[in-house]
């Protein structure tokens, strides 16, 4: 006979699962849009951990949607192909040659890597871009920047069809223009537009910072939309955090219940944010 040894770690795991029950019930059937970027894409180990967490979400009844970036991979391919970029006010001009590389890397290499990681963990990942099924129709953001687009019209019906089949959409931030052009979209912007079109319960923006910090350098775990505006006007929110909080504000004012800027460097950060009292970042809610 095998002796049962009640290891403390096992007991702690069981207690964690039990305490997660209210959150599992809360998010049953919910749509959660996750912008994947930063550390979570940096290694195969981190990608596998993220994929396992996403498959777990689907297993317990959540409908996850993954929207990804891929800037470093695009830059590496442009360098490899010796395609030189021009910049206007610090922003890359996306000409036709650059756009071809952007689509190849995002819709091809990066998208399929994430899909394969999800499938390895037992999920059913399906790779898409905003061009598929008219998901994202764009207007040109600024003629000086070339083929950079801003989402204008959204049709998320294909995503609802995938939810019905227990599939996990993985979306590259590429959209169609009204005249058949192809546009590159900022990943956070694309995630916010998709979350708004789906009236998602949550939008999670994975990044490599702990969250929104106040004037004392402390992470603020929950903010109202007006708090974010006040902190931006006063300069407390600055730099790279501004576009993320702007995406969050637009999303929560367009019907998304809440947006959290999540520290993607923390292992299992998505599960911590959704299924524990502690959370893993800064949640922004409407006023």
Q: Out of 27-31, 71-75, 102-106, 226-230, pick the least confident.
A: 71-75
DSSP tag of 110: I
- The secondary element (H helix, E strand) that includes residue 139 is strand 136-140
Distance between CA 146 and CA 125 in Å, rounded?
Answer: 32
Between helix 187-198 and helix 241-252 the angle, nearest 10°, is 10
Are the C-beta atoms of residues 198 and 136 closer than 8 Å to each other?
no
Nearest CA to 126 among 206, 71, 63? 63
Would you say residue 220 has pLDDT above 60?
A: yes
Assess whether pLDDT exceeds 70 at residue 124.
yes
Q: Which residues participate in the annotated binding site?
A: 70-71, 92, 184
Task: Give the whole-angstrom CA distance, residue 254 versus residue 167.
Answer: 25
* Distance between CA atoms of residues 188 and 69, nearest Å: 8
The answer for residues whose C-beta is within 8 angstroms of residue 139's C-beta and 6 or more apart is: 149, 150, 152, 177, 178
d(CA 73, CA 56): 28
Instruction: Return the DSSP state at 219.
Output: B
Strands 63-68 and 31-36: parallel
pLDDT at 184: 96
Q: Residues within the annotated binding site for substrate?
A: 70-71, 92, 184
> Each residue of 125-155: pLDDT tens digit?
999 999 999 999 999 999 999 999 999 999 9
pLDDT of residue 174 exceeding 90, the answer is: yes
The 10s digit of each residue's pLDDT in 2-26 is 555 556 777 777 877 788 888 888 8
Section 69-98 average pLDDT = 88
Count of alpha carbons within 13 angstroms of residue 19, beta-carbon side: 13
Q: pLDDT at position 16, please?
A: 78
Separation CA 90–CA 263 (nearest Å): 26
Distant-in-sequence, close-in-space partners of 227: CB < 8 Å, separation ≥ 6: 220
Neighbours of 101 (CB within 10 A): 18
Contacts with 97 (C-beta within 8 Å, 6 or more apart), sequence order: 83
The 3-class secondary structure across 264-280, one letter per residue, is: CCCCCHHHHHHHCCCCC
Cα 130 to Cα 196: distance, rounded to the nearest angstrom: 14
Using the 8-state DSSP alphabet, how is residue 217 labeled? S
Please give the radius of gyration of the chain, using alpha carbons only, rounded to the nearest integer.
20
Integer angstrom CA distances of residue 248 from 112, 186, 230: 27, 14, 15
Helix (H, G, I), strand (E, B) or coil at 177: strand
Q: What is the pLDDT of residue 198?
A: 98
pLDDT for residue 229 is more than 80: yes
CB atoms within 10 A of CB 30: 16
């Amino acid at each position: 006979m095998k002796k049962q040894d009640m290891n403390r770690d096992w007991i702690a795991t069981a207690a964690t699962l039990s305490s997660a029950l209210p959150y599992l019930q809360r998010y049953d059937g919910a749509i959660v849009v996750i912008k994947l970027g930063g550390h979570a894409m940096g290694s195969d180990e981190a990608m596998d951990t993220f994929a396992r967490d996403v498959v777990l979400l689907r297993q317990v009844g959540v409908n996850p949607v993954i929207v990804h970036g891929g800037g470093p991979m695009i830059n590496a391919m442009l360098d490899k192909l010796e395609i030189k970029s021009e910049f206007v006010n610090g922003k890359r001009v996306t000409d036709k040659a650059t756009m071809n590389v952007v689509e190849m890397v995002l819709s091809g290499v990066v998208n399929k890597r994430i899909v394969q990681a999800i499938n390895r963990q037992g999920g059913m990942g399906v790779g898409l871009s905003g061009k598929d099924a008219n998901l994202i129709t764009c207007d040109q953001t600024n003629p000086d920047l070339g083929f950079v687009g801003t989402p204008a019209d959204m049709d998320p019906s294909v995503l609802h069809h995938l939810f019905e089949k227990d599939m996990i959409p993985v979306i590259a931030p590429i959209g169609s223009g009204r005249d058949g052009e192809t546009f590159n979209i900022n990943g956070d912007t694309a995630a916010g537009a998709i979350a708004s079109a789906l009236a998602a319960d949550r939008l999670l923006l994975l990044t490599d910072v702990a969250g929104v910090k106040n004037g004392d350098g402390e992470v603020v775990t929950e903010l109202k939309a007006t708090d974010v505006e006040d902190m931006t006007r006063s300069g407390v929110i600055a730099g790279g955090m501004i576009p993320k909080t702007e995406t969050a504000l637009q999303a929560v004012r367009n019907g998304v219940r809440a947006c959290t800027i999540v520290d993607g460097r923390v292992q299992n950060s998505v599960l911590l944010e959704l299924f524990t009292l502690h959370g893993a970042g800064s949640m922004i809610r409407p006023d």
